[in-house]
Structures are given as structure tokens and as C-alpha cells.
Amino acid sequence: MADEALSAILTLTSHELRQPTGVVRGYLRMLDNDPALSQRARKVIGDATRAADRIVQLLDEVGELVRLRERSVRLSLKSTSLRSVLNQAVQAVDLPDSHDVELDVVSSGDVRRRVDETRMRIVFETLIFVLAKAQTGAATIDLRLSKTKSAAYVWVTSRSLARGKITDLPLDVTRAGSGMLLPIAEAIVQAHEGRLRERWVGGRWSGFVVKL
């Protein structure tokens, strides 16, 4: 399917789902205001309200993805310290409560690139969050920055998978649990004329590589 057709379908889907979702949210708010509700009923309504809010959030993400794919988003590009962006992402990311994950920015020097600082921070927040959710125990995620003559690279990888045959593969945007955030991150990187791929070490997924 052509990108234009896919974008049109996503836009239509988002538009059509908003109206019934809005109705559901409205009725849930009305029910929640009933002082005669039992605690059990109030909990059920609260759970349903959060689920409806999540649908709205996903619809917002679909809209953002469409705008990025259509290149209708104007990036605020300026020369920016990538190490500063990584440090901002580490401070801002909301890690899963049930995961014992440490973050470490590793860089022998700084690298500057013309990027949209806010959107690029969102990219690295997303990559950290997705990788952190996949950890099954205590783990350290490294954000390693380096450069060549023509490009800058950031590896967001699990320190426990540091040895083995390294393979970079296309991004798997179907990883569940993060909504549209991974496709959005990829679209942001592509809007910067960069590339986002997965890094596999010894046949196991270890994280991500961003080329800018």
C-alpha cells in the first residue's frame, strides 16, 4: 500500500474513532458523578475511563505519526549537543515501576548536529522506555555516543549483551506495549535524514542504533 493511501486510512480511522470514544468518556464522567455509586462500581468506571483515555492518547499518536510521515511537521532545527539531548532523555524518561533499570550515558566527547532538540529527546526517551520494558531483571542500559567523519551514532543497548556477533536489522514497529511511539520515533529520525535500526548481539535483541 502506498504511503499516501496508508496515511489517508490512518487519518480517517482516527477521525471516525474519536466521536464514539468521546461519547463513552462523557457517559463515564456522568456515571462517576453519581454519589450513590458503590466502591466496586466506582472502580470499574475508573478503569473504563482510563482505558478510554488511553484510546484518545493512541489516536493522538496516530495523528502525529501521519503528520510526520507526510512531512507536514516543521522541525525546529539548530546546532545541538547530542550528549545534552541524551542526558535530558535520561532525566525525563518515565521508566516502568516494576523494572530495576539503570541508565548510563557513555561518551568520550560531545557531538553536535542540527536537530529538533525536543523531538530528538522524545526519540531517545522512547527507545529507553521500550528497551527497559523488555528487561527481565536488574539491568543497565547504555546510551553510547560516537561519530565518524560523516555521521553521528547513538547506541541504546543493554550492557548485559555486549559480546557476540553484532547485526543491525530494520526496526520492528510491531513490538507491543508502547502504542505508536516506536513508529513515531522512526519517523522523527527519518525526518532528520537519519536512520533507526535494531541492534542484535549473538542472535538476541540488545537495543537500538540511531544514525544522524
Q: Give percent above pLDDT 90 in the chain.
A: 46
Sheet holding 139-147, edge to edge: 101-106, 139-147, 152-158, 204-211, 195-201, 166-170
Round to whole Å and give the CA distance between 47 and 141. 32
What CATH architecture applies to the domain 77-211? 2-Layer Sandwich (3.30)
Report how far apart the first and last C-alpha atoms of the chain are (Å, whole number): 28
Cell numbers at 22, concatenated? 468521546
* Residues belonging to the chain: 212
Span 117-140, pLDDT tens digits: 999 999 999 999 999 988 888 889
Strand partners, 207: 157, 199
| Domain parsing of the chain, residue ranges | 3-69, 77-211
Cell 466496586 sits at which residue?
40
Strands 101-106 and 152-158: unpaired
pLDDT grade, residue 195 (50/70/90)?
Answer: very high
pTM for the whole structure? 0.85
Any alpha helices (H) in the chain, and if so which ranges? 3-32, 39-69, 82-92, 117-133, 181-191
pLDDT confidence of residue 109: 84
Q: What angle do CA 28, 32, 34 make, to 5 degrees?
A: 125
